[in-house]
Structure 1
Amino acid sequence: MHIFKKILIGVAILALLLLLLNKGVNIWVNNKLPELLSEKNMSGYHIAYDSLKIDVWEGHIVIKGIRVTPKNALKDTANKAGIYARIESIEIKDFKSMAVLFSNKIKARSITVNTPKIVFYKKTDNALNNSRSIGSEVVKPFESIVQVSDVYLHHGDVKIIYVKNNKPVLNAANIDVKLEGITVNDDILKRTIPFDYKTYAFQCDSLYFKKNAVYYIKAKNIQTENEGLSLTNFEMVPEMTRRQFVAQTPIEKDLYTLKAASLDIRKMAWGFKDEQLFFSADALVLDKIKANIYRSKEPVDRPTKTKLYNRMLRDIKFPLRIDTVKITNSEIVYEEEKSFEKGPGKISFSKFNMTALHIKGAKGHTRMADVTIGINCLFMNVSPMKVDWKFNVMDKNDGFNIKGSILNFNTKNLVSFTKNYSNMKQEGIFDEVYFNITGNDVDSKGDFALKYHDLKVSLYKKNDPSKKSKIKSAIANLIVKNDSHDKTKNVAVSVKRNPKTSFFNFFWRNIEEGLKKILI
């Protein structure tokens, strides 16, 4: 019994010591933590708040009504550069009181940030100056105050604004973020992504991103996690008019307008290994694309060689794999314009469906399966068109084969291109068009076949495209064979490639040669 009393007394004394220690640590931390968050903190930011509740025993901190302001901006009100934030509340769980006492840093298992409104004012009009600026401008300043394993952010809004014109470079609304298993150190801060993590998830209601001086990107309902990405209402749209684009483009270049109802990436893996980006996915699916590709012929031809698709994929510097790319229910329009006065010629493909297999970069491979592309669509919105196209990325000659057909095509539907582009109108029916072209980076050859009837041509004056040239039209109709007499005519074609032009220009010249051989 005597021994039992001693044990009870010992336990009571130990409990009292723990209580006093906890009370002392609690008082210390309650005094030390506000100091860490004040202007004396080691970051470049002043932090103010409405209330701070600390439970040392539970390792729990709740801060409400937080305001974050760059210290430089407090001294120089004309200099707005830096991060400004208003945060409803921050909850820190399992924090280590000893770290607060001895390292001037909050170390904890997790931090939850509720309803932050963050504005990042930048001195440049890029979302990030370079791959290092996430680490130097965002992660490092706050890592000097808080170090955690897991970060959760709920209902956040983030803006990046260019100071000079006060226009947004990025605007993301109603963001939810989950990052678990975070590691940050000096070596990791030097990487393109300045922290390691085990799992992540990201949701965002809407996104605006100024890609560069020409384009902005928009999207809605963005969701991504470890193995997938989906979004809706995607747009990559020019911020300038066609005239403005041509005026600032000395060399021929395409201007794109891209929209898609939805984008879905399945079984995705990406990241950086030894500073090397990698990306792989089982499938990329795009639905209801509306794509417009515009080219003006006013700028000079590009002086350099245009790569074919084999070479483009072969030259990718990082490991890339997408097993299947699907485009469904889409519309593609190509416009080419010699001058703004004449207007562009247009070629369109509607109800466009495509399946492409084995999209890979060459890095890490010595052999690969052929890239195969199957297309079904309506040419000029009316005529069934089918294309089968294949090439191999590892083929250094950039070999390819493309074959297909167009059926029941009324040539009047091509007037939107030929009238504006070559002062010509035509009428008549191409009942059947077939092509099978094999080529490489230097030349191509193949077969072209055409069945047609009632073909007539009208030529217009160069100086006055609104007026028909009767003499030229009459001569052209004497030269052109206007009927294949219910037979499919076959010819061989052979074309030397102009290395400065695109694959599609190269392909079209094969079709053009076949038409000339049959019709003239």
Structure 2
Amino acid sequence: MKPIWKWVIGILVLIVVALAGVSWYLSRNWKPIVEEQLQELVKSSTDSLYRLTYEDLDMTVALGNVTLKNVLLKPDTQVYARMEAAELAPDNLYDIEIKELKVKRFGILNMLRNRELHIKSIDLTEPRIHLTNKYHAYNDTIATEKPKKSLYESIKGVLNAVNIGRIDIERAAFRLTKLNEDSVSTNFGLDSLQIRAEDILIDEHAQADTSRLYYTKLIEAFIPGFEYTFSDGFYKARFEALQINTQAQTLLLTQVDFRPALDKAAFYKKHGKNVTRADLHFDTLYMEKLDFKKLIEEQQTIAQRVSVKNGHATLYGDKRYPKQPVNQIGQAPHQKLMRVKKRISVDTVFVKNIDVVYGEMSGKYHREGEISFNGATGTITNVTNDTVILSQDKYMRADLRAKVMGRGNLHAKFTFDMLSKTGEHTYNGTLGAMSATAFNRILDPLLNVGIRSGNIRGIRFNISGTDYRSRGDFHFDYDNLKIDLKADPGKPQKKRSLKIASFLVNQLIINDSNPDANEKYHVGSVNHRRVPEHTFFKNLWESLLDGIKQTAGISKEREQKWKERAEVAKEAVERTKETTQQTKGFFRGLFKKKEE
């Protein structure tokens, strides 16, 4: 080896040794400075509310790495009590534990010289976050004497800027405790959270950067599962996974459930009254162009698209239990939406393959019947309670298709006047060909009436309504309609009498086709006055039923005529009974006299 290379190698060795010595010296002597800066940063940025402690700090200045183990960020309860007394305490209080925190490639010299902190990455292992929420009315005040400081304003006394390339949080756990005025708490928790944040910048301009959410360009989060039982014990909610991406502005929930925690018998026994029992499930619920900042800070739901796919919405009632009459005027879905205090604005809701089922237990016959709208698919547009948006277009619209009882193709369109004081709305639609016997699933158990035969060729309706009345036209094309009256389980009847009664109804009361035997086509002219205690959907059904009865030849006039005939027949029977009794009395008296 030539002597010159010996000198070069020797000089490099000396430089490495010197750098190692400097690094060792700085690691030993800068460590107290770093600790002091960390404590001061936490103190100044939280108004002395929190204290930072840790078990060990390992720092390699040459590489710019710092590792903290068993980190604790705890609130000072005495400081919090003083803040409450001064009406300055926040509603949220955090208690954080971190098993290991690694900071890689930070520039400590630049931090000390320019008061700027640049970090390549931060890794947090198994953080445990406990959030306690306690409501303080003074935090609802719009104008406060002391406006809340931004994160930059909290750190600018120590640093001019902070830039972090990436933050990774693995296997995190989160627990929320909500305290009410009586200090009674409710709790729920999440485990195994994974969160990644990229390109974090905190300086005097970052807060105004609309491309950032809380100083970050991107937050990705994955929550593997969640389940919560409501405090009243009637329902529980769960989902299999939640994924969010703030840069793409998307939120994805899979296997979403809102279902009863009790079976039907236990549910109604505990309630003691006939309330609607709901069971909802969706395979996916996907939101696009979601404003996360509005959602987090103001609980406003603002999105461009929401997709709900593959699931069911099953509603159930039990008429064996009493139902407390409640005035339902003003309780239509669009009216309830307008009363939501927080802003909701969704351009379009896409519904795909949702089974909508309503079932009921008969209070008289103790049998379950149901009607189903299978595979409901379509769109709901302009879903909002924002009056500024509604001033440009005041209608929420729904365009939906489904199979009634899994057979007939139904296409229905709804419009809701969101600004109407009387709940104005319209609905029109068509139902394709199907067998009428499919409706026995609801007619037989609930009304004790069955359809023996019947071909529905088509239905068309166009109805407009308010809170008080529905008007419109109903067209019902059908043929070969025959019904069977069933025996009352509590009052057994002879088969022959039931056959006769069914024959009379089919021959004298209903038309077996439309057009009828005289080739007259019946159109239902709906003019239905709402019963105030009926819900929006029950009133909708009652209005359609009014049209069905008219097209089947059972007009109000005809109903009244048959009622009058029934009364005449009843009076005739009573007179016959009276005459019979008188005759029996006459003969008894006659024979008695002869015997004497």
Instruction: Give me the TM-score of the superposition, normalised by structure 1.
Output: 0.73
Counterpart position of 1:505: 538
> Which structure has the highest strand share of the two?
1
**CA RMSD in angstroms, aligned pairs only:** 4.9
From the superposition, tell whether residues 35 and 61 of structure 1 become closer, same or farther in structure 2 (CA, over 3 Å): same
State the shift of 1:392 in Å: 2.2
Q: Secondary structure at the match of 2:240?
A: strand
State the shift of 1:384 in Å: 0.9
Q: How does 1:440-479 map to 2 (within 5 A)?
A: 440-464=466-490, 470=498, 472-477=501-506, 478-479=508-509
Among candidates 103, 108, 113, match of residue 91 of structure 1: 103
State the shift of 1:47 in Å: 5.6
Tell me if structure 2 keeps the 8 A contact 1:318–1:363.
no
Counterpart position of 1:241: 263
Q: Does 1:325 align with 2:345?
A: no
Larger radius of gyration: 2
From the superposition, tell whether residues 269 and 84 of structure 1 become closer, same or farther in structure 2 (CA, over 3 Å): closer
TM-superposition CA deviations, 1:130-157 (whole Å, max 9, x none): 699xxxxxxxxxx999998768343324
> Which structure has the highest helix share of the two?
2
Q: Please tell me the residue identity of whatever aligns with 2:230.
A: N
TM-superposition CA deviations, 1:170-229 (whole Å, max 9, x none): 334342242765889xxx9xxxxxx95554523325221316233333333422122111
State the shift of 1:43 in Å: 6.7
State the shift of 1:382 in Å: 0.7
State the shift of 1:457 in Å: 2.1
Counterpart position of 2:226: 208
Distance in 2, matches of 1:203 and 1:58, equals 30
State the shift of 1:504 in Å: 1.4
Q: Please identify, of 263-272 and 27-36, the stretch whose mean Cα deviation from structure 2 is larger.
A: 27-36
Tell me if structure 1 keeps the 8 A contact 2:373–2:406.
yes
TM-superposition CA deviations, 1:433-467 (whole Å, max 9, x none): 11111111221100111111222222334453897
TM-superposition CA deviations, 1:271-292 (whole Å, max 9, x none): 3499644332221111112221
Q: Please tell me the residue identity of whatever aligns with 1:441.
A: D
Counterpart position of 1:125: none
TM-superposition CA deviations, 1:350-378 (whole Å, max 9, x none): 12211112212134343425222111111
Distance in 2, matches of 1:389 and 1:225, equals 34
Counterpart position of 2:421: 396
Tell me if structure 1 keeps the 8 A contact 2:103–2:119.
no
Tell me if structure 2 keeps the 8 A contact 1:46–1:70.
no
From the superposition, tell whether residues 261 and 508 of structure 1 become closer, same or farther in structure 2 (CA, over 3 Å): same
Q: Does 1:156 align with 2:181?
A: no
Distance in 2, matches of 1:71 and 1:339, equals 60
From the superposition, tell whether residues 23 and 171 of structure 1 become closer, same or farther in structure 2 (CA, over 3 Å): closer
State the shift of 1:294 in Å: 1.9
State the shift of 1:240 in Å: 2.3
Q: Does 1:492 align with 2:525?
A: yes
Q: How does 1:31-110 map to 2 (within 5 A)?
A: 49=55, 51-55=56-60, 60-64=65-69, 85=97, 87-91=99-103, 94=106
Among candidates 412, 423, 432, match of residue 387 of structure 1: 412
Counterpart position of 2:282: 260
Distance in 1, matches of 2:124 and 2:426, equals 56
Q: How does 1:405-416 map to 2 (within 5 A)?
A: 405-416=430-441
Among candidates 314, 325, 331, match of residue 301 of structure 1: 325
Counterpart position of 1:280: 302
Counterpart position of 1:418: 443
Q: Please tell me the residue identity of whatever aligns with 2:457.
A: D
Tell me if structure 1 keeps the 8 A contact 2:328–2:536.
no
Counterpart position of 2:576: none
Q: Please tell me the residue identity of whatever aligns with 1:287.
A: K
Q: Does 1:271 align with 2:293?
A: yes
Distance in 1, matches of 2:485 and 2:292, equals 55
Counterpart position of 1:26: 30
Q: Secondary structure at the match of 2:242?
A: strand
Q: Does 1:346 align with 2:365?
A: no
Tell me if structure 2 keeps the 8 A contact 1:60–1:95.
no
Distance in 1, matches of 2:23 and 2:53, equals 32
Q: Secondary structure at the match of 1:476?
A: helix
Tell me if structure 1 keeps the 8 A contact 2:39–2:51.
no
Q: Secondary structure at the match of 2:388?
A: coil
Higher relative contact order (CA 8 A, sep 6+): 1
Q: Secondary structure at the match of 1:364?
A: helix
Gaps of 5+ in 1: 1-14, 73-80, 101-106, 123-127, 133-142, 189-194
